[in-house]
C-alpha cells in the first residue's frame, strides 16, 4: 500500500513539474520588449467627437470606428503615432499625429496612455505576444470608448 501511494505522489510531482512553466520563462518582458514600429488595426465604438456639415448625426452619438495606426515605441516607455480613423458619424480623420507613454510588466501585460489629440487621453491595457512581435489591447477609459487593437511589428 505504501509503495502505491509513493508511486502516485511521484507521478503527481513529475506531472505538475512538467506542466508548469519555469519562473524565468514567465517573467521575461520589460519596456524594451516594445521597441520599434508597429502597424495597428483598431475597431470599436466611441462617442462622435464632431459631425461634419451636411452629415447626419450629432456630437456624442455612439459611432462605429475603424482605423490604422503606426506606433513607434522607444523601448523606454514613450511612443509616437500617426492614425487614420473612419467614424460612421464623424467621417475620416487622416494622418493625425499623437504620442503616449507605456509600461510593460514582467508578465508581458502592459498599460498605455495614448494622447491622439490635445486634451484627449485614452488608457489602454493589453498583452504582448510572440516575443514582442505583436500585442492585443483594449480601451479602459474613457468608459464610453470601446475599442480593441491588434498591433504587429513592422519588418
Ordered by start, the domain boundaries in the chain are: 28-153
- At 72 the pLDDT is 98
Cell (9 digits) for 136: 492585443
Candidates 121, 114, 125, 116; CA nearest to 142 is 121
Asked if residue 41 has pLDDT above 70, the reply is yes
**What is the per-residue pLDDT across 137-152, written as a single tens digit (0 to 9) for each?**
999 999 999 999 999 9
Q: What CATH number was assigned to the domain covering residues 28-153?
A: 2.40.128.120
Spatial distance between the Cα atoms of 133 and 57, rounded to a whole number of angstroms: 39
Answer yes or no: pTM beyond 0.85.
no
- Tell me the Cα Rg of the chain: 22
Q: What is the separation of C-alpha 49 from the centre of its chain, rounded to a whole number of angstroms?
A: 22
Please name the residue that has the C-alpha cell 523601448: 75
Q: What is the separation of C-alpha 16 from the centre of its chain, rounded to a whole number of angstroms?
A: 32
Give me the mean pLDDT over the 61-69 stretch.
Answer: 98
Asked if residue 78 has pLDDT above 70, the reply is yes
Amino acid at each position: 500500500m505504501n509503495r502505491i501511494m509513493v508511486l502516485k505522489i511521484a507521478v503527481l510531482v513529475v506531472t505538475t513539474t512538467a506542466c508548469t512553466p519555469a519562473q524565468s520563462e514567465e517573467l521575461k518582458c520589460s519596456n524594451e520588449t516594445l521597441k520599434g514600429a508597429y502597424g495597428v488595426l483598431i475597431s470599436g465604438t466611441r462617442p462622435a467627437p464632431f459631425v461634419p456639415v451636411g452629415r447626419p448625426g450629432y456630437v456624442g452619438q455612439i459611432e462605429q470606428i475603424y482605423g490604422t495606426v503606426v506606433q513607434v515605441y522607444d523601448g523606454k516607455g514613450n511612443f509616437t503615432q500617426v492614425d487614420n480613423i473612419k467614424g460612421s458619424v464623424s467621417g475620416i480623420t487622416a494622418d493625425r499625429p499623437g504620442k503616449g507613454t507605456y509600461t510593460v510588466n514582467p508578465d508581458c501585460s502592459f498599460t498605455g496612455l495614448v494622447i491622439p489629440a490635445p486634451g484627449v487621453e485614452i488608457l489602454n491595457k493589453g498583452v504582448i505576444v510572440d516575443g514582442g512581435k505583436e500585442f492585443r489591447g483594449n480601451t479602459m477609459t474613457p468608459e464610453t470608448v470601446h475599442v480593441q487593437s491588434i498591433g504587429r511589428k513592422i519588418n
